[in-house]
Chains A and B, each alone.
Chain A
Amino acid sequence: MGGRVVAAMALLAVLLGVWRRVPVYDAFVRGARAGLRTAASIAPALLAVLPAVAALTASGATDALCALLAPALSALRLPEQAVPLMLLRPLSGAGALGMLEQVFSACGPDSRAGRVASVAAGANETLLYVLALYMGASGARRSRYAVPAALLAWAAACLAAGFVCP
């Protein structure tokens, strides 16, 4: 299986582009430039989150918290290492990527914790940012049930992450 998905996706993209007469090389370079810019733009946020998390981890505070939560989490089939990421994901996208890297370096990207964390990071969006931005644009003052409904969707994604990774 290794790498086939990526190869198939790339092949599909290039064939589709050639078929629709897209200047494929120029388009790729444009997209790659935007991608590099995005990667660079999340660096400061990672720089903010990773040291804070590293200091907490080094002190053993996160281990203590995880040990406290462990019984409830195992009932939900969620690995405890993935939980800090799940909590941070609605607040900060770059922060969640930093947490994901922490899980990868602690457990490995192909461990169960690594996979659950990957799914939880990919299946959620930065809820706080989206709601704040959209409410601001709409001119409405009360968001009614948007926040509880979005939180339910977030909880559903986290629980589903534990379920889809055997």
Chain B
Amino acid sequence: MNAVWAVLMACGCAAALFAGGGDALTQAATEAVALCVRMAGGFALFSGLMQIVEEAGALSALQRALRGPMKRLFPGVDPDGEAARAMSANLAANMLGLGNAATPMGLRAMELLGRECRGGAATDAMCTFMVLGAAGVQLFPASVVALRAAAGSADPADIVLPTLAATAFSAAVGVGACRALSRLWGD
């Protein structure tokens, strides 16, 4: 990200220097803060609602529902073990959009899985888990909906179902790629 930003900023400023348009820099900075303020309300609303859902026990219910798929996704991992519990807690929290709760669980799961890896190479379970985390399966993209509302969309939430379809497809491709590559890759 540091390299990308350096290239973006250097090219942008160089172009502004020659073609004019340095005003755009300060205008955009003002706009960035205004944007945060405009979307903060909607985002906080969804966070508040999600907190109610979480405290009503949605997390553990989702975790139970994930038990079956987990066995298929991670055949080498004991489904009742601590690693599997941390993994399903992470996936459930990610699905509900609870990033702050998901990350520590994901790190814990990776730590536990890491104990079984030989010679410093990630196991199949670790790779699949990382790819699922990187694919970001989320049931309700709160920040996108809040931003759409702030931009004056007629129906901010109408991208929820298409997004769900796209993210499910992406996760399926990720898992499929893991299966195919684990045979080809070796250590």
By a beta-carbon cutoff of 8 Å, the part of chain A in contact with chain B is 1-3, 5-6, 9-10, 13-14, 16-17, 19-20, 22-24, 27-36, 38-40, 42-43, 46-61, 88, 90-92, 95, 97-98, 100-101, 104-105, 108-110, 114-115, 118-128, 130-131, 133-135, 137-146, 148-150, 152-154, 156-157, 160-161, 163-165
Contact = CB atoms under 8 A, between A and B. Distances in A.
Identify which of B26, B108, B133, B181 gathers the most chain A CB atoms within 10 Å of its CB: B133
B8 A143 contact: no
Given A52-B9, A134-B110, A9 B140 contact: yes
Given A2-B154, A122-B138, A17 B56 contact: yes
Contacts of B1: 91-92, 95, 128
Given A13-B49, A22-B56, A91 B24 contact: no
Given A56-B12, A100-B144, A153-B131, A5 B49 contact: no
21 contacts: A2-B155, A5-B160, A31-B51, A32-B45, A33-B44, A35-B43, A35-B48, A52-B8, A56-B15, A91-B4, A92-B1, A118-B159, A121-B141, A124-B136, A125-B134, A126-B136, A135-B130, A139-B117, A143-B122, A156-B170, A157-B167
Nearest to A31: B51
A119 B187 contact: no
B25 A55 contact: yes
Interface centre among A2, A105, A137, A138, by most chain B C-beta atoms within 10 angstroms, is A138
B162 interface: yes
A35 to B, nearest CB: 3
A43 B36 contact: yes
A153 B170 contact: yes
A52 to B, nearest CB: 4
Contact of B163 (A43, A97, A118, A141): A118
B148 interface: yes
Contacts of B130: 130-131, 134-135, 143, 146, 150
Given A16-B53, A125-B135, A118 B144 contact: yes
B80 interface: no
A1 B170 CA distance: 27
A54 B131 contact: no
A11 B120 CA distance: 49
Given A134-B106, A156-B170, A17 B52 contact: yes
B185 A39 contact: no
A4 to B, nearest CB: 8
A2 B156 CA distance: 8
A119 B160 CA distance: 8
Contact of A32 (B47, B115, B117): B47
Given A42-B36, A160-B169, A55 B16 contact: yes
Nearest to B135: A153
B16 A58 contact: yes
Interface in B23-49: 24-29, 31-33, 35-36, 39-40, 43-49
